[in-house]
């Protein structure tokens, strides 16, 4: 799943700037009480009072998690059947020393960090298959496959060019920051931009937007870190898209790349090369609520199971299927999936894992995507629409929202869909945990998904009698609606009589999601406790 990066916001008036400075821990606040469109978890705990709860295991299928983080170390799942570091599969589940989870991206030769996109992998296979293609000798089915390959190739070339342009933009902004910093004795702050005189329209626009971002709470260190993260993320994919990623995978992980049904491979390197994304996601769900450190997670009685299957690039269907099965088999009743892609060559393999989770009463929470797309038109993978024609009843698809009511409440990067996206949840400018006891703000449906997974975990903890489809139905029934219209991500129309000017297309939230609203734990708790019924 591509993460929304702050550097993109430096060129456009985005949700980040339109929302101004957010309240602390805003994702836990309540629209009715706090006038902030969080999930209402703080109010929910007041409503629950002394009601008892059971511990719920939430599997985070992601890039890895830092299990030693000060705000997470006491909520990390520990496998009760495994003796640490003895080199033995004590619980005989097929995975040696899986004390806190498992990684399907590691092996005896290291750990996968960067990966190619799924499209790149498919194109490289096509390049090999059709290297000496003679269309005149092809059968009709062969021509159909060949034409599909040529279409994918064209899309791949365009996407690669776009990513290379993004890298150039990052380098341009980084060079500009270095220039401003140098003029200000090596210090990058708001005053540095007040003193700096832009030399061209690009610098003028950047100066204006960065000063605005600083006014709304952005720190120089955070900006520089985001740029470095963007360069690493996009640069890694660009480079790996040019390589034979399969051979690299086989060398590092050691599995049979041609056997999609293989189950038992990987290692127990829970953190991997870059655990920022997974650690951030985990903090939103379960950061310790009573330690006076960092942030408060949404759920108060959970354990985070670490399942590493998401590289910087596109995850492989085989790893996703195995990650879901591992989580289910080891006791998770909620699985957060903050990742996605637009090609899935082994979709049935993942579908079978989704069905398996459904049969075991496990709720799957999935991020809708960060490409400002209509999921009704272009659905990302994995998804609940199975190749068999069935619809998985245990699936919740989540778009991202910001804290303040108004036209800009939907994240301008968020995917949406009247028939495909269930609801919206906090996903813009979410402050949470990252490795080495640090904290940063990130935006994306990657943050909205764990905001919802945290809500699901609380419901499963306090109302364990509810089955997975009932949990989804409860959340859908109790969303907070919003009157008026919102800007639809990515859609713009020309302004009358103003050449080259556009304005956002506006629709009701009920026109871009199934439920028409924003997830709210307090509403759900009240509903289940019978407090919403009229007397």
pLDDT given for residue 188 in this prediction: 87
- Write phi, then psi, for 276 (nearest 5 degrees): -60, -50
Rg (CA), the chain: 23
What are the residues whose beta carbons fall under 8 Å from the beta carbon of 98, sequence distance 6 or more? 79, 82, 268, 330
pLDDT at 118: 95
**By C-alpha distance, which of 397, 398, 393 is closest to 362?**
393
pLDDT at residue 239, as a whole number: 86
Give the pLDDT confidence of 281-324 residue by residue, as tens digits. Answer: 999 999 999 999 999 999 999 999 999 999 999 999 999 999 99
**DSSP letter assigned to residue 388:** T
Rama region for 136: left / alpha / beta (φ>0; ψ in -120 to 50; rest): alpha
pLDDT attached to residue 493: 62
Would you call the peptide bond into 382 cis, given omega within 30 degrees of 0 as the criterion?
A: yes
CATH number for the domain formed by residue range(s) 6-116+243-444+458-528: 3.40.50.200
159/120 Cα distance (integer angstroms): 10
Ranges of each domain in the chain: 6-116+243-444+458-528, 119-229
Q: Give one DSSP letter per residue of 189-258, joined into a string.
A: SHHHHHH---SSHHHHHHHHHHHHHHHTT--HHHHHHHHHHHHHHHHHHHHHHTS-HHHHHHHHH---TT
Bridge partners of residue 335, in order along the sequence = 59, 364
Q: Which pLDDT score is estimated for 8?
A: 46
CA nearest 27: which of 449, 417, 475, 371? 449
Q: Which pLDDT score is estimated for 62?
A: 97
Contact 419, 376 (CB under 8 A): yes
Residues 6+ apart with CB under 8 A from 191: 184
Cα–Cα distance between 309 and 185 in angstroms, integer? 44
Distances (CA, A) of 308 to 48, 223, 370, 465, 498: 34, 27, 21, 30, 50
| pTM of the predicted model over 0.85 | yes
Phi/psi of residue 432, each to 5°?
A: -155, 180
pLDDT in tens, the chain (535 residues): 444 444 444 444 444 444 456 888 999 999 999 999 999 999 999 999 999 999 999 999 999 999 999 999 999 999 999 999 999 999 999 999 999 999 999 999 999 999 999 999 999 999 999 999 999 999 999 999 999 999 999 999 999 998 899 888 888 888 988 998 888 888 888 888 888 888 888 888 888 888 877 777 777 887 888 788 888 888 888 888 988 889 999 999 999 999 999 999 999 999 999 999 999 999 999 999 999 999 999 999 999 999 999 999 999 999 999 999 999 999 999 999 999 999 999 999 999 999 999 999 999 999 999 999 999 999 899 999 999 999 999 999 999 999 999 999 999 999 999 999 999 999 999 999 999 999 998 999 999 999 999 999 999 999 999 999 999 999 999 999 998 999 999 876 665 545 556 688 999 999 999 999 999 999 999 999 999 865 4
Q: What is the pLDDT of residue 18?
A: 46
pLDDT for the residue numbered 535:
43
Give the DSSP letter string of 301-369: SEEEEEEE---BSPPPHHHHHHHHHHHHHTT-SEEEE---BS--TTHHHHHHHHHHHHHTT-EEEEE--
- Burial of 397 per CB tally in 10 Å (0-12, 13-18, 19+): buried
Q: Residue 107 has what pLDDT?
A: 96
Angle at 46 between CA 45 and CA 49, to 5 degrees: 85
């Amino acid at each position: 799943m591509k993460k929304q990066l702050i550097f993109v916001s430096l060129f456009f008036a985005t949700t980040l700037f339109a929302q101004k400075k957010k309240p602390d821990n805003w994702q836990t606040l309540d629209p009715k009480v706090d006038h902030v469109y969080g999930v209402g978890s703080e109010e929910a705990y007041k409503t629950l009072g002394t009601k008892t709860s059971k511990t719920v295991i939430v599997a985070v299928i992601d890039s890895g998690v830092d299990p030693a983080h000060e705000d997470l170390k006491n909520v990390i799942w520990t496998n009760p059947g495994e003796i640490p570091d003895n080199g033995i599969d004590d619980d005989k589940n097929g995975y040696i020393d899986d004390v806190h989870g498992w990684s399907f991206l590691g092996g005896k030769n290291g750990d996968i960090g960067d990966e190619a996109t799924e499209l790149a992998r498919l194109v490289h296979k096509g390049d090999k298959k059709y290297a000496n293609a003679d269309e005149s000798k092809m059968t009709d089915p062969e021509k159909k496959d060949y034409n599909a390959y040529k279409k994918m190739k064209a899309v791949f070339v365009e996407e690669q060019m776009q990513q290379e342009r993004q890298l150039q933009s990052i380098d341009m902004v980084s060079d500009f920051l270095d220039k401003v910093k140098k003029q200000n004795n090596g210090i990058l702050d708001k005053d540095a931009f007040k003193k700096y005189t832009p030399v061209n329209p690009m610098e003028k626009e950047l100066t204006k937007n960065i000063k605005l971002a600083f006014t709304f709470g952005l720190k120089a260190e955070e900006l520089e870190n985001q740029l470095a993260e963007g360069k690493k993320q996009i640069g890694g994919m660009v480079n790996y898209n040019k390589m034979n990623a399969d051979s690299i995978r086989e060398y590092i992980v050691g599995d049979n790349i041609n056997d999609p049904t293989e189950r038992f491979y990987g290692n127990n390197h829970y953190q991997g090369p870059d655990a920022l994304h997974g650690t951030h996601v985990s903090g939103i769900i379960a950061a310790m609520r009573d330690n006076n450190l960092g942030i408060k997670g949404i759920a108060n009685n959970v354990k985070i199971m670490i399942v590493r299957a998401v590289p910087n690039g596109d995850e492989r269907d085989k790893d996703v299927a195995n990650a879901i099965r591992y989580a289910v088999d080891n006791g998770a009743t909620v699985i957060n999936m903050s990742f996605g892609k637009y090609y899935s060559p082994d979709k049935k393999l993942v579908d079978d894992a989704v069905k398996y989770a459904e049969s075991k009463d496990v709720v799957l929470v999935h991020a809708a995507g960060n490409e400002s797309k209509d999921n009704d038109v272009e659905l990302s993978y994995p998804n609940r629409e199975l190749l068999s024609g069935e619809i998985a009843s245990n699936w919740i698809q989540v778009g991202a929202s910001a804290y303040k009511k108004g036209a800009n409440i939907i994240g301008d990067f968020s995917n949406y869909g009247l028939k495909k996206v269930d609801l919206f949840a906090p996903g813009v400018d979410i402050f949470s945990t990252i490795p080495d006891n640090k904290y940063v703000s990130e935006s994306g449906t990657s943050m909205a998904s764990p905001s919802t997974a945290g809500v699901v975990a609380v419901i499963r903890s306090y109302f364990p009698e509810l089955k997975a489809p009932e949990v989804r139905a409860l959340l859908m029934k109790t969303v907070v609606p919003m009157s008026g219209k919102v800007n639809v991500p990515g859609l713009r129309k020309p302004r009358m009589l103003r050449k080259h000017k556009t304005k956002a297309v506006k629709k009701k939230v009920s026109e871009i999601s199934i439920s028409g609203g924003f997830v709210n734990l307090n509403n759900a708790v009240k509903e289940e406790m019978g407090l919403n019924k009229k007397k």
